Structure 1
């Protein structure tokens, strides 16, 4: 039989036909069914499901305003957020982790999707939170689907863990670059819970890849100007500084390097807490011996060399005893100390 017999059939469709098909897909709840059973499908069918989601999530009728979220996105967050939750739970199965991850990363480009995933706290079999039901000012209990990402990243096999972290990191970066007010409010309301899990599970992960990438992401979160208040709260903690100093002595150089970019925020802060000052003062001599030799083979990195010199000078200038510098305001200082190492 000739190869031409296997050529794909091209079908001409009109925008109205596509629109009708998308509407029928929603009416039959096909997206929810697919998100729930994708792990049961054969490999090629999972790829097809990924393609179906990708096209439908981006679909806009010809007359639809381009500055509005696609209609399917609006439908999901207002009427069927369970689709998003089931896609996240795709990380519980090796077969569905990657296709669900691809779909999620496409959907997370829209802040309404990100908000639903961040604020949903439903359990298996319960309705997910609708966009109109979000309570941004209410601290969470850590049981929602977003919090499961910490465990999926840390305890799954490498393939699932890597894809889950890609989605987690991608969602945080999307939020940091596109939806700054959303992440600022979320981290402020759930500060202790978020950074407690971030430090305990990701920063101290046994996986080198997870550990290194998590430290880098932490630095990006803290150094984003929109998160100034979050950064100041993080660098007030003596326990956070101890964890960071431990990273500087890790056996792996890239972990040391990423840890340095968090450590410098503690030292550069002109309003150090008493707890942070005490740790730095008690370790002053050791730090002054350690830093000049720290990653000294990075001779081609002038910025890193300058930052080390800056930190050495700041440590030299520390008082003999901690000074209580209680702030009356959390507004960003006009000085350039923090910016100098950002």
Structure 2
């Protein structure tokens, strides 16, 4: 503890946590003074020193454990999460570091699989995660909140909180025991705000929120596949309208690529089968093939091929492909023909051409059992 030099005496973790909480309350008062900001930055720097140490000073697990305990006792993580956008720049960076270390911390005698702070959050204070998500409402807090969220999203219980919370502002957030995987959502939860943040935020905010959005949808597959199945129509309506058709080139391209990843993931088989039954989804993909930008065309191709390769195409999909057969057979051989070094892409194009050539003259009713399996999977899948 000799590394603390605050007014000549060592400060205990309990004092530091309580002091920071009091300063945060004063910071949110209007207007906050420079003295409050400076003192808060100093206290957060001390807190970071305890959890991270330096090259010269080793971390003391006893001190970290005492600080974690004091932090939870004072509800400090919640106060930090809701105040991040108010903090000075260096204090925001320190808070990001503090959060990341505390979320990972496990005492030597730990018996649970998840770190104690993760367990505390999901069972007692899920509002911390909701406030971190709402950090995307402010450009100042977007990146530190995003970094903390992605650290937290290493744990599936955090993903469940974000996906299933539908609390209004000022209401308690969802507890894990309240999650109902089979009940469709109404689109009011924090998860649905990501579509707005990605599409309407500044470049930095949009990019960071998309990174978190992608992590949420690809990391814990057993949870996500059930969520997508239950909320299939609402999710893909939002995804297609807001993200795939975004006016932002970066958002559009990244979203199409993510769509392909979701559909081609084996765990999402039923979701994929339901998606490729839709003639409207196919029309959107064919529109992407004719986009002015080659990378949008390329990412769109990887979604389009799922429709064509499906051996049990719906009547609607068959009708569109049959009606456009001649145009597609002329278009595909010349499609992105400058990608001469991509043998897989060339082979896939040839395969699709052959599949389109083999289409019947008129739509044929798909195999009933396969179609029923895909739709029933979407309607009844739950979180594993």
Q: Give yes or no for TM over 0.5.
A: yes
**Counterparts of 1:291 and 1:150, CA distance in 2:** 32
Which residue in 2 is equivalent to 1:239?
A: 280
Corresponding residue to 1:194 among 235, 246, 257: 235
Look at both structures and tell me which one has the larger radius of gyration over its CA atoms. Answer: 2
1:1-342 matched pairs, under 5 angstroms:
14-65=60-111, 68-174=113-219, 179-329=220-370
Whole-angstrom distance in 1 between the partners of 2:135 and 2:126:
15
Distance 2:73 2:172 in 1: 18
Structure 2 unaligned segments of length 5 or more: list them: 1-53, 375-384
Question: Cα RMSD (Å) of the superposition?
Answer: 1.6
In structure 2, how many angstroms separate the alpha carbons of the residues matched to 1:170 and 1:9? 32
- What is the Cα deviation at residue 159 of structure 1? 1.1
Q: Deviations over 1:37-64 (max 9, x none)?
A: 1000000000010011011000000011
Measured in 2, the distance between the counterparts of 1:250 and 1:114 equals 34
3-state DSSP of counterpart to 1:297: coil
Deviation at residue 271 of structure 1 after TM alignment = 0.2
- Structure 1 distance, partners of 2:306, 2:364, is 18
Q: Which has the higher contact order (CA 8 A, sep 6+)?
A: 2
| 2:29 corresponds to | none
| Alpha-carbon distance change, 17 to 272 in structure 1, aligned in 2, over 3 angstroms | same
Distance 2:361 2:285 in 1: 22
Give the Cα separation in 2 of the matches to 1:12 and 1:183. 40
Q: Which moved more, 1:314-323 or 1:9-18?
A: 9-18
Following superposition, the deviation at residue 148 of structure 1 comes to 0.2
Q: What is the count of residue pairs matched by the alignment?
A: 321
- Unmatched tracts of structure 1, length 5 or more: 1-7, 333-342
CA distance in 2, matches of 1:45, 1:98: 13
- Tell me, in whole angstroms, the C-alpha distance in 1 between the residues paired with 2:167 and 2:77: 19
**Given that residues 218 and 224 in structure 2 are in contact (C-alpha distance below 8 angstroms), is that contact kept between their aligned partners in structure 1?**
no
Per the alignment, in what secondary structure is the counterpart of residue 174 of structure 2?
coil
- Are the counterparts in 1 of residues 285 and 300 from structure 2 also a CA contact under 8 Å? yes
State the distance in 2 between where 1:157 and 1:180 align.
29
Shift of 1:9: 10
1:273 touches 1:326 (CA, 8 Å); kept in 2? no
